[in-house]
Amino acid sequence: MKDRNHLSNIGLSHQVNVISNGLVDIPMLQILQADGVPHKEATLPDMEKELAEKILTTMQYIRILDERMVAAQRQGRISFYLACTGEEASTVGSAAALEPQDMIMSQYREQGTLAFRGYSTEQFMDQMFSNEKDPNKGRQMPIHYGVKELNFMTISSPLGTQIPQASGYAYGQKMAGQPAVTICYFGEGAASEGDFHAGLNMAAVLHCPVIFFCRNNGYAISTPSEEQFAGDGIASRGIGYGIKTIRVDGNDVLAVFAATQKARELALAENCPVLIEAMTYRLAAHSTSDDPTGYRSKDEEERWRAKDPVLRFAAWMQSQGWYNEEQNKAFLEQSRQDVLSELKRVEKVPVCKIDDIITDVYDTPPWHLKEQLAELKAHIAKYPEAYPKTAGRL
Amino acid sequence: MKDRNHLSNIGLSHQVNVISNGLVDIPMLQILQADGVPHKEATLPDMEKELAEKILTTMQYIRILDERMVAAQRQGRISFYLACTGEEASTVGSAAALEPQDMIMSQYREQGTLAFRGYSTEQFMDQMFSNEKDPNKGRQMPIHYGVKELNFMTISSPLGTQIPQASGYAYGQKMAGQPAVTICYFGEGAASEGDFHAGLNMAAVLHCPVIFFCRNNGYAISTPSEEQFAGDGIASRGIGYGIKTIRVDGNDVLAVFAATQKARELALAENCPVLIEAMTYRLAAHSTSDDPTGYRSKDEEERWRAKDPVLRFAAWMQSQGWYNEEQNKAFLEQSRQDVLSELKRVEKVPVCKIDDIITDVYDTPPWHLKEQLAELKAHIAKYPEAYPKTAGRL
Amino acid sequence: MAKMNMLQAVNSALITAMTENEKVMVFGEDVGHFGGVFRATSNLQEKFGKGRCFNTPLTEQGIIGFANGLASQGSVPVAEIQFADYIFPAFDQIVNETAKWRYRSGGQFSCGTLTIRTPYGGGIAGGLYHSQSPEAFFAHVPGLKIVVPRNPYQAKGLLLASIRDDNPVLFMEPKRLYRASVGEVPEHDYTLPLGKAEVVSQGTDITLLAWGAQMEVMEKAAQMAEKDGISCEVLDLRSILPWDRETVAISVQKTGRLLISHEAPQTGGFASEIAASIQEKCFLYLESPITRVCGLDTPYPLAHEKEYMPDHLKIYEAIVRCVNF
Amino acid sequence: MAKMNMLQAVNSALITAMTENEKVMVFGEDVGHFGGVFRATSNLQEKFGKGRCFNTPLTEQGIIGFANGLASQGSVPVAEIQFADYIFPAFDQIVNETAKWRYRSGGQFSCGTLTIRTPYGGGIAGGLYHSQSPEAFFAHVPGLKIVVPRNPYQAKGLLLASIRDDNPVLFMEPKRLYRASVGEVPEHDYTLPLGKAEVVSQGTDITLLAWGAQMEVMEKAAQMAEKDGISCEVLDLRSILPWDRETVAISVQKTGRLLISHEAPQTGGFASEIAASIQEKCFLYLESPITRVCGLDTPYPLAHEKEYMPDHLKIYEAIVRCVNF
Ligand SMILES: Cc1ncc(C[n+]2csc(CCOP(=O)(O)OP(=O)(O)O)c2C)c(N)n1
Ligand SMILES: Cc1ncc(C[n+]2csc(CCOP(=O)(O)OP(=O)(O)O)c2C)c(N)n1
Ligand SMILES: [Mg+2]
Ligand SMILES: [Mg+2]
């Protein structure tokens, strides 16, 4: 039997040695300065014009979608919405560094990754209006997207649960010999959940090719990060687990892109997890149910508005001669119109027939669910006016 | 409203900087060498002869208790036992650095702390025979001790649960203005539970005067620590949480004592948690239900037997001229006899009356429990021979 | 007396308890400065300081673990779980620790001072994870008490009783009524009894039993039935554990019929315990089978929320079926 | 055919499944090289490699979270929770994730391939935390299947069926019988149906219903009753969720009486669901109240284990009371 020595790498000290800052500094990778001019010392990732344009327009599109859907919620047209304003670079920049076969397990503020993979305005609307064309059958609240074809796992509200799940998914990809990784997004608040600990530790021990992407945006609803943890962000924990760790400026697309590219390369080559902590800020309210004036100052928000990731990247593209004012204006206009017209159109699409209330609980409905559905249908038939969404199509 | 900047302490880098060893070395405090001779460079904690004697005899007593009770279990006299052989210094050495008002929340292998606080052989036996004199009323398996007078919280089997509990207990001590801390013992295996993450992070954020004492003994039942975590032990995690951390040779009483003294001083003075990782080895089987030959080599065990903490400390005391061969022999003999005679005597003490099957579920038994007890008593009265432990005293 | 909605009543109870006893501490996600996502803990931090009303990191298992330790130390924690749907990460701490603490220690230690507040229930377009009613999971846990108010008056009186009761109490607040339910609430200190059901209205033909938000629905159905000349006795269970079997049994022995309704899925819901106990106690009095009108045995669906809910129409139909059995 | 105890039968089922399908992976605490604390996974790592049978770190929420992701990816995880008492840290992953995965995604993704194995039950001097029977907690969770074998033959046939079933299955193994129960088990591949109860012996006076380890106790009580000339029909439910109401109803419509027994505390135990459903389905056939003989509503006590258990004597007494009602 193998001899083990769990002390083999441990040295000795002979004085009580309290370690209170045992970490190297974990600097934040920044390639573009706030004004979009690259740092002299920075090495830029090679990025074709096409990709850069796709990234920029995706970020701009999401900004428009967010604006319009927040408005739609205020008008009572959808019940709920959650914007990612200020964090577009973290999500779109990281998605741009992935391959289509990579699985995305997100928290909820990562609509940018979905748009980057080609999710259409109509598809966004189908989910938000919980209609029969939503592949998730309209069962969850708005913004809980999920689409198998795009390798985007259906979002679930409980925080942190996707973290150990991502480790398991990646382990499966490895065992199946697929040239793919899983990326797992979560906030710095969710990183306080026990599932975070389990997921990162298991990924490290079981050699899972997973990228843990933490959006540290300073807040968990009203709770500022200083009331969330006392250490050096989330990055410092990766080091504790023996996980390769990168901290990046989440408002700098090029930095996020470069970091995620590197992370993916490592995860695949070495079958190991990589943790990325993206430092960013939620300029939006937590959700349409939230009002940030209750917990943070306008000045603070302004300071971050000045670091707008979309403007920063646009400025860089301009300096590259890759930015066509006219074209871009047209695109923005077009996008606004699409969103509005799709909103109007999709609003009218019906929800699933009542039969779907019992499908997908199991692979096939057992006797008790069939019984409950039959009773329900008879009841709706008797009181059609009380159940207008479904009575028409029993 | 207060302006916040969660980036204030973070520097910049302009190249992708993957941190794969971002930790300073975390050496292990060792004062006594394996032969009991202090390292030249070491500063010894000041320890009176009396205290040293108490520590030595407590360790020796526990060694004897463990031997005898493992034997008793083999003879079928108790149902279960769990020895701490090899880890006496970690538990007794740390307990010696505490004050009586400090709360101890242990995992299960810390009988040394209880013995140090004066738990008598009779009391140990009362618990292990689940009799009516066990203050816990014999409801849990052997070794699940608990005694309020000694500020020793009743042990519960689920691993890791005591970690966030210890943070809460310490928070309460602080709010009550007591000059007391809580010490929380756990193994390196239990440190994988989500509760570990929650407990340490909350203690750091909420400034709880708690000492987290991890016994890293290399195994969780059959699982070696290399299959438990990939980082630098448990100490590396404390650093991630921003918790002051000390690593110590768990087989060196003086080192454990010095480290725990320092930790207590810091916890009280600064209202902060301190993490201690004691590097040690479980020479015993995990429990009487376990057989280590299935997962580790005899050589490995031998290498650790050579580091026996009791012999090491005895050797040092000898060098101090504090060790009286004769006296100690007598003490050992006496202890063996006590354990055996108490075992015989306590074996005969009855279990609690059946009425206690429903007490302490609530502060007072509600109607349904009274009803269930009444039925049960009538039933036992009808079949006394089937319930010999309780039928005699209905 | 003052007009309060349920949130104000909860807030008033917390202020009363914290003023009376400095050992009372209120914490959870966002409960501090912000006053909670529903604002039930508004102003507590200003009034009583950061030490006694504070945010915790985002970890339910941590919140309850911390609360258990704090309770066992002698403080009086009132922990909030932001939504009942998110109480499950704390399930081990509640089921294996909170509930068993006193028993396993022979009464030496306990979490008796602990109260866990959490908003539950559907009808707010919350879908799978902002709608659940998990009371039945906890009703199978000896050592816990479970309390559910149906209006602001009950909310204050039952919450104060729960905080003072020397047993751990899971206090489930019907969030659909947080602002919708408004009523007269004494500003002064008062409590309502735990473990006692309330007979809301007398009747002779059938007993209708529910709790919390479902009471409203039940009373609406009762009114429909009354128009058909069916006399309904409406009961509010108020405490799920321990529950008041006697009051229910007395009513059923009078009416000969029992209908129970809750939003949670039917299979394994608490109505099953009530039905099982009452059919035993009242076997010879029952004129028709005990009927359950509950949520379907599916996760809670958003698009079909209206169809999923045990609404007044479904209950009315069931009442008629019962009476014509 | 070969004589096997229940552990050997489980091991044989795992070997069969892993040989047949390389996507089957077995993991949990100590299940790797060591073969599990009960040795149910002996030799699997040697046979199939460390990639397919491995130890996990000590975290139940992690084990199930990892298993959920692995299942959704298309692998076939068989995760072990070392004792059912320790499944609660994974409660959120099971209740909010495993069970709702397919529904929330409209059937796009699922954890259908997942099987969770865990030893449950008392009678081994395990006290509070090595004795629990938590089936009722999971019976209130739509989307899960729950299966409990009573002997080695069932253990192999039901476990293979569970692993192959395209729904997440909680497979609860009666640890008291691991070595105690020995019987003939085919070495070849076979399955037994999920969701179907088994009529173990025919009778006319009363239906006795249980599952797993409690079946032995039930049969012993039945023998005592038979001596008094009471003819008992003994049923093994085998699947708790979905459960076979039809077979139970048919039996009760014949015998007119039903007694259900489980070790778990009575209040909110699964017997309550069965009683509630059957009193509704069989109202006009019942000659006496449906009776439950269960654990007391307390944590599981060590010193009073014998008194706590629903043993054959308590059941026998209840049978007599039923028949003489
Ligand atoms: C288990 C669980 N607990 C609580 C909540 C309620 N909740 C939703 S979002 C949120 C804050 C999350 O903050 P963070 O993880 O930092 O993500 P961000 O919103 O900043 O992107 C909370 C507490 C939840 N959804 N799940
Ligand atoms: C929540 C939980 N899961 C599993 C177990 C079973 N178990 C008991 S001890 C043990 C190993 C603990 O190892 P460690 O924490 O290193 O402590 P040590 O035994 O080495 O002192 C396990 C898995 C448990 N008691 N509780
Ligand atoms: Mg955040
Ligand atoms: Mg260990």
DSSP state of B350: P
Torsion sign across C-alpha atoms B358, B362, B363, B368? negative
Q: Using a pLDDT cut of 90, give the percent of chain B over it.
A: 97
CB B175 within 8 A of CB B202: no
pLDDT at A367: 98
Instruction: Quote the pLDDT of residue A2.
Output: 81
Q: Which of residues 111-140 of C touch D (CB under 8 A)?
A: 128-129, 136-137, 139-140
Q: What percent of chain A has pLDDT over 70?
A: 100
Per-residue pLDDT at B1: 75
Report the range of poorest mean pLDDT among A7-11, A53-57, B388-392, D284-288: A7-11
Three-state secondary-structure class, residue C83 = coil
DSSP reduced 3-state for A187:
strand
| pLDDT-based confidence at residue B266 (cuts at 50, 70, 90) | very high
C-alpha count within 13 angstroms, C-beta hemisphere, residue C250: 8
Any idea of the CA torsion for B276, B282, B288, B291, to the nearest 10 degrees?
140
Query: What sections of chain C are H helices per DSSP?
Result: 6-20, 44-48, 60-73, 91-92, 101-104, 135-139, 152-164, 214-227, 245-255, 270-281, 305-308, 312-323
Q: What is the pLDDT of residue B190?
A: 98
Instruction: Using CB atoms, pick whichever of D85, D297, D302 lies closest to residue B372.
Output: D297
pLDDT given at position B2: 81
Give the rounded percent of residues in chain C with a pLDDT score beyond 90: 100
pTM of the shown model: 0.98
Atom of ligand 2 nearest to the CA of D129: 25
**Closest by alpha carbon to B119, among B98, B105, B135, B107?**
B135
SS3 content of chain C, % helix, strand, coil (to 5): 40, 20, 40
Which residues of A participate in catalysis according to the annotation? 282, 286, 295
The CA-based angle B299-B300-B303, given to 5 degrees, is 85
Instruction: Determine which one of C60, C80, C97, C233 is catalytic.
Output: C60
Q: Ligand 1: which of A109, A140, A159 to mutate, judged by most atoms within 8 Å of the beta carbon?
A: A159
Q: How confident is the model at residue B22 (pLDDT cuts 50, 70, 90)?
A: confident
Contact A368 C307 (CB under 8 A): no
* Residue B207: closest C-alpha in chain C: C51
B216/A30 CB distance under 8 A: no
Q: What is the pLDDT of residues B274-326, one digit of tens each?
A: 999 999 999 999 999 999 999 999 999 999 999 999 999 999 999 999 999 99
Touching subunits for chain C (3+ Cβ pairs under 8 A): A, B, D
The answer to whether C292 contacts D276, with C-beta atoms less than 8 Å apart, is: yes
What pLDDT sits at residue B21?
Answer: 82
Contacts of C142 in chain B (CB under 8 A): 361
Backbone φ/ψ region at A208: left (φ over 0), alpha (ψ -120 to 50), beta: beta
Within 10 Å of residue B35's Cβ, how many Cβ atoms? 11
Work out the minimum CA distance from D201 to partner chain A, whole angstroms.
Answer: 25
Helix, coil or strand: residue A224: strand
Q: Hey, which of B90, B221, B287 would you mutate to test ligand 2's pocket, going by the most ligand atoms within 8 Å of its Cβ?
A: B221
Atom of ligand 2 nearest to the CA of B286: 19
> What are the helix (H) ranges across chain D?
6-20, 44-48, 60-73, 91-92, 101-104, 135-139, 152-164, 214-227, 245-255, 270-281, 305-308, 312-323
Binary contact (B361, C103; C-beta < 8 A): yes
Closest CB to D302 among B138, B228, B295: B138
A chain contacts of residue C54, beta-carbon cutoff 8 Å: 227
pLDDT score of A8 more than 90: no
Q: Ligand 1 in contact with A62 (CB < 6 A)?
A: no
Instruction: Locate the ligand 1 atom nearest the alpha carbon of residue A215 and give its number.
Output: 21
Pair D89, D29: CB distance under 8 Å: no
Mean pLDDT of all residues in A27-38: 96
Per-residue tokens: C184 = 């007269």
Q: What is the nearest CA distance from D129 to chain B, expressed in angstroms?
A: 6
Q: Whose structure tokens read 């074809």? A: A149
Q: Tens of pLDDT along A93-124?
A: 999 999 999 999 999 999 999 999 999 999 99
Question: What residues of chain B, 271 to 330, have a C-beta less than 8 Å from chain A?
Answer: 274, 279, 295-297, 299-300, 303
CB pairs under 8 A between B and D: 135
Tell me which chain D residue has its CA closest to the CA of residue C133. Answer: D140
Residue nearest to atom 19 of ligand 1 (CA): A220
Closest residue (by CA) to atom 6 of ligand 2?
D82
Q: Is the CB of B174 under 6 A from ligand 2?
A: no
Alpha-carbon B143 to chain mean position: 11
Chain B nearest-CA distance from D236, in A, is 26
Convert the pLDDT of each residue in A185-223 to its tens digit: 999 999 999 999 999 999 999 999 999 999 999 999 999
Over residues A159-174, the mean pLDDT reads: 99
| Tens-digit pLDDT profile for residues B351-367 | 999 999 999 999 999 99
Please give the full DSSP string across B66-129, using - where no structure is assigned: HHHHHHHHHTTSSS-----TT-HHHHHHHHTTS-TTSEEE--SS-HHHHHHTT--HHHHHHHHT
Neighbours of D228 (CB within 10 A): 11
Q: Is the pLDDT of residue A1 over 80?
A: no
Q: Give the integer Cα–Cα distance in Å for C60 and C30.
A: 12
Q: Which atom of ligand 2 is nearest to the CA of B216?
A: 16
CA distance D277 to C155: 33
Answer positive or negative: Cα dihedral of B194, B195, B199, B200. Answer: negative
Residue D270, φ and ψ in degrees, nearest 5: -70, -20
User: Do A28 and B11 make contact, defined as CB atoms within 8 angstroms?
Assistant: yes
In the structure, what pLDDT confidence band is assigned to residue A26 with cuts at 50, 70 and 90? very high
pLDDT at residue B68, rounded to an integer: 98
Average pLDDT, chain A: 97
B137 with D303: Cβ contact below 8 A: yes
Contact D143 A206 (CB under 8 A): no
Q: Which of B9, B17, B159, B296 should one mutate to test binding to chain A, selecting the residue with the greatest count of A CBs within 10 A? A: B17
How many A from CA of D209 to the centre of ligand 3?
52
Q: Is the CB of B219 under 6 A from ligand 2?
A: yes
Residue A3: which pLDDT band, with cuts at 50, 70 and 90? confident
Interface contact B363-C242, CB threshold 8 A:
no
| pLDDT tens digits for range C85-124 | 999 999 999 999 999 999 999 999 999 999 999 999 999 9
Q: Identify the band that residue D1 occupies on the pLDDT scale cut at 50, 70 and 90.
A: confident
Per-residue pLDDT reduced to its tens digit, D26-52: 999 999 999 999 999 999 999 999 999
Q: For chain C, what is the mean pLDDT? A: 98
Q: Residue C28 is inside which H or E element, if any?
A: strand C24-28
Q: Given a cut of 90, is residue C227 above it in pLDDT? A: yes
Ligand closest in space to the Cα of B191: 2
- Mean pLDDT of the region A362-377: 98
Which tokens in the block code for residue D182?
A: 């020995």
